Structure formats: C-alpha cells, structure tokens
Amino acid sequence: AGILRPAAERAACMEQAGRLSTRLSGPGQKVVELSGGNQQKVVLAKWLLAGTRVLMLDEPTRGIDVGAKAEIHDLLDRLAASGHALLVVSSELPELMRLCDRIEVMSRGRIAGSLERAEFSEERILELAYRGFVDPRTSGAGP
C-alpha cells in the first residue's frame, strides 16, 4: 500500500478502457486528445478503478455525438444493473426518462415533485418544473 506501480496502473487502465469500449491509440495518449465521449469514459474509468459505488453525473452526455451518447447510456445501464447508484442531473428529458428509476423535479430551487418511472412523461415533468409560473395559454395574455 502506498507504493506506485506504473506497470500495474497502466495494465489496469488499459483493462478498464477495454471494458468501457474507450477508443485509445495507446496507454500514453493524452485525455485532451480524445473525443468528448471517450473523455467521459476516462472519467468514469477513474471512478470505477477507485471502487466508487455512487456516481454523481452532471449533464453526462452534453457535447458528445449521438453514437457516444448511446454508448454512455448503455454503460450507465450496466453500472446500475451491477449495483452502482447513479445520481443524474440533466436538462435533457429523454435522457432522464431513459436512465432514471425516479425523477425529482426542481422548480425555483425546490423539489416540485417526485415521479416514479411509470409516471414519466415530458408533459408531467415540465408541468412540475413550471408550476407557479404564469401559463400564457390560460392567463389571457397575448404573445
């Protein structure tokens, strides 16, 4: 314990990169040279190598392409199925509805409602998020 073993670290990193389908040219490639999706996978790999069981993800797929987004979603599904707890913050409702078992909807800095998977719909989530705001469709106000 407390002794660095570069060869073992490199092997563990490459093994984790393979598990997460991270596209690397080799163990020495700099993270900044990777695509956004592969950078996200590197962050997840670091957490997993540290033994993290609870992952807090803020906008986990922002700025990455559709294919990488699907890979990240599949990876998060596998992590949840293996017993990891995921706390996901996202402005993308389809992402939340795909990844989450429960959604806590915030409005004006407070929890406006809690929805179980069977209750998920974009309409219901938005209704809770905008609760207390004026609805121009029903207030008689013009555009």
* Tally of CB atoms within 10 A around 3: 5
What dotted CATH number matches 6-89? 3.40.50.300
**What pLDDT, on the 0 to 100 scale, is given for residue 26?**
79
Q: What is the pLDDT of residues 67-95, one digit of tens each?
A: 989 999 999 999 999 999 999 999 999 99
pTM for the full model? 0.77
Measured between alpha carbons, how far is 87 from 13 in angstroms, rounded to an integer? 24
| DSSP calls for 96-121 | HHHH-SEEEEEETTEEEEEEEGGG--
**What pLDDT, on the 0 to 100 scale, is given for residue 132?**
75
Domain boundaries, the chain: 6-89, 101-142
Mean pLDDT value across the chain: 88
pLDDT band at residue 13 under the 50/70/90 scheme? confident
Average pLDDT over residues 132-142: 61
**What pLDDT, on the 0 to 100 scale, is given for residue 1?**
56
Average pLDDT over residues 34-59: 90
Of all residues in the chain, the percent with pLDDT exceeding 70 is 92
